[in-house]
Amino acid sequence: MHVLIVKTSSMGDVLHTLPALTDAMHAIPGIRFDWAVEEGFAQIPAWHPAVDKVIPLAIRRWRKHWFGSEVREERFLFKREVQSREYDLVIDAQGLIKSAALVTRIAKGIKHGQDSRSARESFASWWYDKRHEISKKQHAVQRTRELFAKSLGYPLPDTIGDYAIAQHFLNELPADAGQYLVFLHATTRDAKHWPESHWRELAGLLKESGLKIKLPWGTEHEHQRAIRLAEGYSFVEVLPRLTLEQVARTLAGAKAVVSVDTGLSHLTAALDRPNITLYGPTDPGLIGGYGKNQCVLRPEQGSSMASISADRVAAMLKEIV
């Protein structure tokens, strides 16, 4: 059986889909998947052992020049790639109009997705041949696992979901694996940032632990923040610019991770690394870290990230390491 998955973004959503593939792989011997995904996250599906082919698309980039000649050519090539085979099933795990109209609609195969009451955008269900009711009162990982189980016709396992990507990195861990922590200090919204003074205080509290601290970054302003966080601390390393696979390898070798609400926090969970995630204005209940050794710290009152003290984080971290 060969199935096309439509789950284009974001990083957390893509990662949250992986346990459903693992369920299907165990329930249906020989099942294989192709996956249509945003180009920025195209490395992630390839880490899963049940994925044959990753088909990148670039809706975020294309919509800036939708009718430009280069974009038209890329869209044509993407459509040709999607239609290059007849799939036994097409599962739209995104539940958005853009994924249904631009990807699921053009694919060859019986199309499955959430019904109008379950999908993130109800109108998306118009493009599905088979529609499934999926309760919204459960974690995003569980919702996707249920969608796959109903689409492919096997009982939903009652075990915790398995991302099945940690093994991909075990044979090539960094030489100093287990001897460092990673601080994931970068996120998209200002309200989700932990103050720089708190990060530096935490680093100071951990100075005597004997562990190094590594700071990844993606954009130049994140790079500058990392430099400020490391200033004066010889045991804190600002990493060079890394690919997503290189970041994943760094996370896989970490003793533990401290993170804010960001896609890389979900990647840490997928790699089964101990992780403390700091949440302020966002609710981790249905979209937070899913997996083993995942801890959440929230303000004791209100939603200000600044009210989460470095002492609280250090105390929890010392229990882990």
Give per-residue pLDDT as tens, 144-189: 999 999 999 999 999 999 999 999 999 899 999 999 999 999 998 9
* 11 and 140 fall within a common domain: yes
Query: Is it the case that residue 287 has pLDDT exceeding 90?
Result: no
Average of pLDDT values for 23-29? 98
Query: What CATH number is associated with residue 55?
Result: 3.40.50.2000
* 59 and 87 fall within a common domain: yes
Residue 216 inside a domain? The answer is yes
What is the C-alpha separation between 181 and 63, in angstroms, rounded? 39
| Among candidate residues 169, 179, 265, the one with its CA nearest the CA of residue 216 | 265
Average of pLDDT values for 61-84? 96
Residue 46 inside a domain? The answer is yes
Domain boundary among 152, 185, 213: 152
Least confident segment among 120-134, 135-149, 280-294: 280-294
Confidence of residue 263 (pLDDT cuts 50, 70, 90): very high
Confidence of residue 131 (pLDDT cuts 50, 70, 90): very high
Query: Is it the case that residue 286 has pLDDT exceeding 90?
Result: no
Looking at every residue in the chain, the average pLDDT score rounds to 96
Our CA angle for 121, 123, 124, nearest 5°, is 70
* 173 and 316 fall within a common domain: yes
pLDDT for 139:
95
Residue 161 inside a domain? The answer is no
Domain boundary among 121, 152, 183: 152
Q: Compute the half-sphere exposure of residue 188: CA atoms within 13 Å on the CB side of its CA.
A: 7
* 8 and 141 fall within a common domain: yes
Residue 74 inside a domain? The answer is yes
Q: Enumerate helices (H) and strands (E) in the chain, giving the number of each.
A: 12, 12
| 34 Cβ contact list (under 8 Å, min separation 6) | 2, 3, 4, 5, 51, 52, 53, 54, 55, 85, 87
* 300 and 222 fall within a common domain: yes
Which amino acid appears at position 147 of this protein? L
* 22 and 135 fall within a common domain: yes
Confidence of residue 100 (pLDDT cuts 50, 70, 90): very high
Residue 106 inside a domain? The answer is yes
Whole-model pTM: value is: 0.95
pLDDT for 278:
97
Average of pLDDT values for 236-257? 98
pLDDT for 285:
85
Across the beta sheet with 212-215, what order do the strands follow? 236-238, 212-215, 180-184, 256-260, 275-278, 294-297
* 121 and 173 fall within a common domain: no
- Counting the structural domains of the chain, the total is 2
Residue 148 inside a domain? The answer is yes
Radius of gyration of the chain (CA): 21
Residue 130 inside a domain? The answer is yes
Query: Is it the case that residue 320 has pLDDT exceeding 90?
Result: no
Which amino acid appears at position 257 of this protein? V
Give tens-digit pLDDT for 181-226: 999 999 989 999 999 999 999 999 999 999 999 999 999 999 999 9
Give tens-digit pLDDT for 27-63: 999 999 999 999 999 999 999 999 999 999 999 899 9
* 45 and 143 fall within a common domain: yes
Confidence of residue 283 (pLDDT cuts 50, 70, 90): confident
For residue 157, count CB atoms less than 10 angstroms from its CB and return exposed for 0-12, middle for 13-18, buried for 19 or more.
middle
| Residue numbers of the domain that contains 306 | 167-320
Tell me if residue 101 falls in helix, strand or coil: helix
* 112 and 15 fall within a common domain: yes
- Using a pLDDT cut of 70, give the percent of the chain over it: 100
* 177 and 133 fall within a common domain: no
Domain boundary among 93, 121, 152: 152
136-150 as b/e, with b when 16 or more CB fall inside 10 Å?
A: eeebbbbbbbbbbbb
What Å distances lie between residue 275 and 46, 127, 179, 217, 252, CA to CA?
24, 39, 15, 18, 11
* 141 and 173 fall within a common domain: no
Residue 278 inside a domain? The answer is yes
* 194 and 314 fall within a common domain: yes
